[in-house]
Chain A
Amino acid sequence: MGKRDIHDEEHVVRCCSRQKQVVDENGTVLGVTWEAFALRDVDKGYLSVALFETVSGDADTRLIHIRGQWDQSGFRYNPRKAVMAVCNTGIIREYGLKRACKIRVLHEPSRQNDAYSAIRRLPQDNGDIDLLESLASEAAVSIHPIASLP
């Protein structure tokens, strides 16, 4: 299964734990912090995401498919509290270029997960917080609690 650059008009989905969410007093998720896009040691130098447009249909259909791929591949997430941040690929690249960072967003499907994708060439030391904040605030165009999916 081949890799390809994801088009600017397409989107990728990042799973964000409760610890990276900003939540109001009613439990409504207002957004995610820049930390949701920070590289950790376990990330091996890139961010794991999922291609939103792997299947056609409405948002719920697409997110349910991604959730199923996560289950199939053994990716562990919190079904009650984690959220799926849908991010526009074009905006990711645009902010990367503004920060002199040629980010690549690639669809890298596998047998276990046909939606698997990666955001590569981010600054490895998380030193560019401006960039990470821009990704969290502008590239993340919608937030979907996994618990709200059928």
Chain B
Amino acid sequence: MTKATFDLGKVGAPSLVMSQPNRLSLLLSPSARETNASLISQKVACTPSNLRGQQVDNDQNPDERKIFENRSELKILISQVAMHISANQRHDFFKQIDDLLDQDEWMEEDSLINKSSFFSFLRFITYSINVKRPSLTVASSGNVGASWFHNRRRLSIEFMNDDTVRMVLSQAPDDKNEGEVFVYQGKTPRLNEVLQPFDARDWYLDGQA
């Protein structure tokens, strides 16, 4: 079992424990559990805003129902790690999920988000330090992606099951350098090591030189 402890001030210090391979579990104090449960119920109640107060019609288009269920389950996952992300991050992720899974704006090429992929993404966010705000995207496979584009540098990470990622890094050509594209597929813990030759850690992490 791997154990990591976070100091979170007033809520107390929960232990983040992997009780089974790749399953993220939280051992919380009673007060923290109560706060967490309240937070979950608040966030689920806020979703979806256009269905608030309405009963879901069993004859409703199943795609709409699936979109709603997908949004809800992802937000519940976020709420389960709420102690380990900032309020701004939580709010931003909720907003992006609403934006990506909007039944009124659904296009034929759109996909529901794979829950285990999103779980891998959340593990990446909670285990990394000072991650810059990612722009979330959805692959045709349903895997969630996180991207950081700045000037002519692009970094996109697609989260698959089992903490496997596919990372695409590109830098546009300029007067001094030819452009370059680098693709990596492997385990999340190797990301920093893989990005080091490109001096690219500051593309997605705050406070890097």
Contact = CB atoms under 8 A, between A and B. Distances in A.
A35 B145 contact: yes
Given A24-B135, A134-B181, A33 B107 contact: no
Given A19-B111, A130-B181, A35 B105 contact: no
B42 interface: no
Interface stretch (A5-13, A49-57, A63-71, A72-80): A72-80
B15 interface: no
Instruction: Output the residue of B92, B109, B168, B170 with the most chain A CB within 10 A.
Output: B109
Contacts, number: 83
Interface size class, chain B: 20 to 34
Contact of B172 (A25, A129, A137): A137
B170 A25 contact: no
B45 interface: no
Contacts of B135: 21-24, 30
Contacts of A35: 137, 139-140, 145
A22 B149 contact: yes
B201 interface: no
Contacts of A82: 107
B179 interface: yes
A22 B107 contact: no
Given A30-B149, A129-B183, A138-B179, A17 B110 contact: yes
B102 to A, nearest CB: 8
B168 A19 contact: no
Q: State the main secondary structure of chain B at its contact with A.
A: mixed
Interface string B140-160: 100001010100101010000
Contacts of A42: 108-109
Contacts of B156: 22, 33-34, 133
B135 to A, nearest CB: 4
Nearest to A134: B181
A149 B100 CA distance: 22
Contacts of B152: 137
Given A76-B108, A134-B181, A25 B145 contact: no
A137 B170 CA distance: 8
A20 interface: yes
A80 B137 contact: no
A35 B168 CA distance: 11
B107 A76 contact: yes
Interface in A82-135: 82, 129-130, 133-134
**Most chain B Cβ neighbours within 10 Å, of A21, A42, A76, A129:** A129
Given A25-B92, A30-B135, A18 B99 contact: yes
B123 interface: no
B147 A133 contact: no
A3 interface: no
Interface of A: 17-25, 30-31, 33-35, 38, 40, 42, 76-78, 80-82, 129-130, 133-134, 137-138
10 contacts: A19-B100, A21-B135, A22-B137, A22-B149, A22-B156, A23-B99, A33-B147, A35-B140, A77-B107, A137-B170
Given A33-B156, A76-B108, A130-B183, 5 more contacts: A17-B109, A25-B133, A129-B166, A129-B183, A137-B152
